[in-house]
Amino acid sequence: MLPFIDTAPRARNPYVVLWLILVNTLVFLWMESLPPRALNAALLHFALIPLRYTDPAAAVAAGLDPHDWWPLITNTFMHGGWLHLIFNMWFLWIFGPAMEARLGRFWFAVMYVGGAAAASFLHVVTHPDSGDPALGASGAIAAVIAAYAVTYPTARVITIIPIFVIIPLFVPIPAILFAGLWFVLQVIQGSSELVSPSMAGGVAWWAHIGGFAFGAAFALVANAAGIGLQTATTTWSGKGARASVPLVRSRDYERW
């Protein structure tokens, strides 16, 4: 399922989302410009390698600092290919502006970074013997998806479902159902991977699960505490974006 547009109020000027997309893109272009040895060094020092933290002696022997916790965050700004980058940034563009409007720029940034750290932490816990670098923003974006579903459960996500691979079918799906199906898929794949690691397919499923759980919890607390700012928003219509009333309080969000 690929989200196309949504019906929740979006920040009219989603500066944090745009900044995140820009930084992720620039980091990817920088990685693409590196020769093989330099790229390998960048992965060793900035990507997430669980053994760095679970086996400090081996980390020191490999020239890694087991007390350097920055890779828990820096890995989420790195991507392994154009499709990896494009899909992650597309999901961020669909779901991020609504949460930036709802939480305000500061708390949205806090949630994004917290989701990234939670995703990385759970990946380390579930893969303590792994020496493979893990990277990508999908754990942080999973937090955004979960927060969106908790905050706007009845918002419609217009989703592209391919029929016979090449025929796109546009289906409006409630956000809570979209997120729920997405999460169940991660749990199924992640559980299968623990039984048979070869089934992982190079995807850090448990990082997605960790980020999702953090985002859902963060949104529940934020909504209960009334965290949010008055933010100018737009919503999508059949002809594009239109101006809408600013979002003011947490209890008002179900009106959209």
**Tokens matching residue 111:** 């949630």
Rounded-to-integer distance, Cα 107 and Cα 148, Å: 14
Cβ neighbours of residue 52 under 8 Å, at least 6 residues apart? Answer: 59, 64, 65, 66, 68, 71
14-64, pLDDT tens digit by residue? Answer: 999 999 999 999 999 999 999 999 999 999 999 999 999 999 998 888 888
Neighbouring CB atoms inside 10 A of 80's CB total 16
- Residue 163 is predicted with a pLDDT of 76
Phi-psi region of 8 (alpha: psi -120 to 50; beta: other; left: phi over 0): beta
- Examine the pLDDT at 243 and tell me if it is beyond 60: no
Tell the residue number behind the tokens 């985002």, with chain if given: 215
The candidate with the shortest Cα–Cα distance to 25, out of 71, 94, 69, 90, is 90
182-210, pLDDT tens digit by residue? Answer: 999 989 888 887 776 655 557 888 999 99
Structure confidence at residue 230 as a pLDDT band (50, 70, 90): low
- Residue 249 is predicted with a pLDDT of 37
The candidate with the shortest Cα–Cα distance to 193, out of 118, 134, 112, 113, is 134
Q: Which helix (H) or strand (E) holds 141?
A: helix 138-151
Tell the residue number behind the tokens 């991977």, with chain if given: 193
- Examine the pLDDT at 242 and tell me if it is beyond 70: no
Phi-psi region of 104 (alpha: psi -120 to 50; beta: other; left: phi over 0): left
How much is the mean pLDDT over the chain?
Answer: 86
Rounded-to-integer distance, Cα 90 and Cα 141, Å: 10
The candidate with the shortest Cα–Cα distance to 1, out of 219, 161, 236, 128, is 161
pTM passes above 0.85: yes
3-state helix, strand, coil in the chain (%, to 5): 60, 15, 25
Find the helix packing angle between 138-151 and 105-126, rounded to 10°: 120
77-128, pLDDT tens digit by residue? Answer: 999 999 999 999 999 999 999 999 999 999 999 999 999 999 999 999 999 9
121-153, pLDDT tens digit by residue? Answer: 999 999 998 889 999 999 999 999 999 999 999
Residue 102 contacts residue 228 (beta carbons within 8 Å) = yes
Third-level CATH fold of 2-255 = Rhomboid-like fold (1.20.1540)
- Residue 199 is predicted with a pLDDT of 52
- Residue 251 is predicted with a pLDDT of 37
Q: Higher pLDDT residue, 157 or 228?
A: 157
Phi, psi (rounded to 5 degrees) for 8? -75, 155
- Examine the pLDDT at 254 and tell me if it is beyond 60: no
Q: For a pLDDT cut of 90, what percent of the chain falls above it?
A: 61
- Residue 77 is predicted with a pLDDT of 97
Query: Cα 172 vs. chain centroid, distance in angstroms?
Result: 21
Rounded-to-integer distance, Cα 59 and Cα 124, Å: 14
- Residue 35 is predicted with a pLDDT of 95
